[in-house]
Amino acid sequence: MAPSPVPINVKGSSAQRLSVRQDAAILMRETVRLSANIASPANTQTAPEILRKSSTEPPVMVKGALTDLEPALVDGRVVCWEVLDRKRYKYLAKQERRGTGTAHLLHTVEMQSSYNPLQEFIAFIRSCVVPEGYPDSVTPSYAPYMQWRALKYFFGGAMGVFTTRSLLHSVGVSGKGATSSAVAVNWVLKDGAGRIGKMLFARQGKKFDCDLKQLRFTGDLLMEIGAGVELATMVAPHLFLPFACAANMAKNVAAVTSTSTRSHIYKAFAQGENIGDVTAKGECISNIADLLGTGLSICLSRQNPSMVATFAVLSVGYLFCSYQEVKSVVLNSLNKSRFAVAVESFLITGHVPSLKEGNLKETIFSVPWSQKRPVVLGARLKEAFQDWSDFLSVQRLFEKEKYIVTFNPLKGQAYALLREKASSDDVLRATFHVSTFAFACH
């Protein structure tokens, strides 16, 4: 029979008590070390880096018990080095008498590192315009999107100087003989008309989630139209108020589309819970590009170039960059345009395109919410049918479905009518069915 285990007498000799304290200290030290290793991320730019001590300063060795470590921690002994945000710190062991015992403390000393102004400036700019952890913290489509966005804002900032100059000149000419308060009223009315247009257009906010890219490009097109109307006030200063009001309404509508679609785009770029960081850095890049464009335009305006020719060149550059900007975005959802690309590819080749392929083949020039489209999802009965007998005959074919699909050859459109309590799966099936029907009929 195996001998019974002998219990440890905790109240025994001093050697046994020392062994228990040493075992507990080792267990505590190893637990803390393992917890720190698990909790520390492998790739991070903000966490401090603990450096191995140099050969001239041998590291503190733990030989098996906490009590063996205590004699080595004499005053002034370097415990470890630390690097945080390109700064180097030295931790020294300090001893203080507290009552009947001795307290072992860590004293921090910041080391003077070599100062490089260029590297510091580059690091500062990078912290303003690049999300933390870049490029791993964002999707691959982030870089081309921000490049085209910066160029677009560069052209936009340059145009802003010429349009503002035209408005100021026009309001001055139209206000000749009038009091300064009358001129100010005209300017305020212009801004008020723009705000009214923004509020009216915001009623369509629920539709902003569908054709995001098409809406963004249409908004930029409206921005250019508004800028062109502002430029026209210089030719007809007596029509300053109606021209300026129309231009400001168009530009405010464009601002609504940009603001409403921005969060969806930045959300597609974020690889984690860093949407705020991605948004802040993206807006910073836009502001920098806008300031650079404004500065260039101020220099050009001193040369008195042709207003029409300069505006035409800047407008073409702005719209081209806007098109490339929205084209480079890879959204992780399906709208009608991307769904049509997937259905067409599947019916022709039997291959379902990837998200990137579907986004690249998506049509950008289509007008959002246009009534002239091949597929109408969630149509009304009177839109799809003009003859009640046609409705009854088609209804029999879809008795077991929560939707009805039909095609109107006179309008050249396929319609999907949804029944009550249709689920999201029913909507998806109806969309595929009506898209297939439209493709076959055309």
Q: Are residues 283 and 354 in the same domain?
A: no
Q: Are residues 263 and 358 in the same domain?
A: no
Q: Are residues 106 and 210 in the same domain?
A: no
Q: Are residues 383 and 415 in the same domain?
A: yes
CB atoms within 10 A of CB 357: 16
Whole-number Å distance between alpha carbons of 431 and 341: 13
- The per-residue b/e assignment along 367-403, b for 16 or more CB within 10 angstroms, e otherwise, is ebeeeebbbbbebeeeebbeeeeeeeebeeebeeebb
> pLDDT for 28-76, tens place per residue?
444 444 444 434 444 444 444 444 444 444 343 333 332 333 444 456 6
Q: Are residues 67 and 214 in the same domain?
A: no
Q: Are residues 362 and 434 in the same domain?
A: yes
Q: Are residues 191 and 283 in the same domain?
A: yes
**Selection from 110, 127, 111 nearest residue 119 by Cα:** 127
Q: What is the pLDDT of residue 129?
A: 87
Quick check: is 12 in a domain?
A: no
Average pLDDT, the chain: 76
Quick check: is 287 in a domain?
A: yes
Q: Are residues 176 and 308 in the same domain?
A: yes
Quick check: is 120 in a domain?
A: no
Q: What is the mean pLDDT of residues 363-379?
A: 72
Q: How many domains in the chain? A: 3
Domain boundary among 327, 349, 364: 327
> At what angle are helices 212-232 and 240-269 packed, to 10 degrees?
150
Domain boundary among 327, 356, 383: 327
Quick check: is 11 in a domain?
A: no
What CATH number is given to the structural domain containing 195?
1.20.1250.20
Confidence tier at 385 by pLDDT (50, 70, 90)? confident
Q: What is the pLDDT of residue 370?
A: 59
Q: Are residues 182 and 287 in the same domain?
A: yes
Q: Are residues 280 and 185 in the same domain?
A: yes
> pLDDT for 317-331, tens place per residue?
999 999 999 999 998
How large a percentage of the chain has pLDDT more than 70? 75
Whole-number Å distance between alpha carbons of 223 and 254: 6
Confidence tier at 112 by pLDDT (50, 70, 90)? low
Whole-number Å distance between alpha carbons of 168 and 187: 10
Confidence tier at 195 by pLDDT (50, 70, 90)? confident
Q: What is the pLDDT of residue 3?
A: 46
pTM beyond 0.75, yes or no: no
Whole-number Å distance between alpha carbons of 48 and 269: 27
Q: What is the mean pLDDT of residues 417-427?
A: 87
Q: What is the mean pLDDT of residues 336-363?
A: 87
**Selection from 255, 196, 188 nearest residue 223 by Cα:** 255
Q: Do β-strands 413-418 and 403-408 pair in parallel, antiparallel, or remain unpaired?
A: antiparallel
Question: Tokens 């590009």 identify what position?
Answer: 289
- CA distances 425 to 364, 403, 430, Å, are 27, 11, 9
8-state DSSP, 354: P
8-state DSSP, 203: G
> pLDDT for 254-305, tens place per residue?
888 888 888 889 988 988 888 899 999 999 999 999 999 999 988 888 888 8
Whole-number Å distance between alpha carbons of 416 and 94: 79
pLDDT at 87 over 90: no
Q: Which long-range contacts (CB under 8 A, 24 or more apart) does 293-298 make?
A: 293/153, 293/154, 293/155, 293/156, 293/157, 293/158, 293/159, 293/160, 294/157, 294/158, 294/160, 294/161, 296/154, 296/158, 297/157, 297/158, 297/159, 297/160, 297/161, 297/162, 298/161
Measure CA of the first residue to CA of the last residue in the chain; give whole Å: 91
Quick check: is 5 in a domain?
A: no
**Selection from 193, 241, 247 nearest residue 222 by Cα:** 247
Q: What is the pLDDT of residue 14?
A: 44
pLDDT at 155 over 90: yes
More confident residue, 204 or 167: 167
Quick check: is 13 in a domain?
A: no
Q: What is the pLDDT of residue 2?
A: 45
Q: Which alpha helices (H) appear in 175-211, and where do they start and end?
A: 180-201
Q: Are residues 144 and 101 in the same domain?
A: no
Domain boundary among 276, 300, 327: 327
Q: What is the mean pLDDT of residues 330-351?
A: 87
User: Which structural domain, as residue segments, surrounds residue 138?
Assistant: 127-327
**Selection from 132, 141, 244 nearest residue 193 by Cα:** 244
For residue 5, cis peptide bond before it (omega within 30 degrees of 0): no
Q: What is the mean pLDDT of residues 133-137?
A: 85
- CA distances 275 to 264, 271, 350, Å, are 10, 8, 36
Quick check: is 35 in a domain?
A: no
Q: What is the mean pLDDT of residues 139-149?
A: 93
Q: What is the mean pLDDT of residues 73-95?
A: 72
Q: Are residues 193 and 266 in the same domain?
A: yes
**Selection from 87, 91, 229 nearest residue 167 by Cα:** 229
Whole-number Å distance between alpha carbons of 227 and 36: 58
- DSSP for 287-344, please give it: HHHHHHHHHHHHHHHTT---HHHHHHHHHHHHHHHHHHHHHT---SS--HHHHHHHHH
Q: What is the pLDDT of residue 18?
A: 41
CB atoms within 10 A of CB 217: 22
What are residue 95's DSSP bridge partners? Answer: 104
Q: What is the mean pLDDT of residues 94-117?
A: 73
**Selection from 215, 342, 390 nearest residue 415 by Cα:** 390
Q: What is the pLDDT of residue 285?
A: 93
Quick check: is 104 in a domain?
A: yes
pLDDT at 175 over 70: no
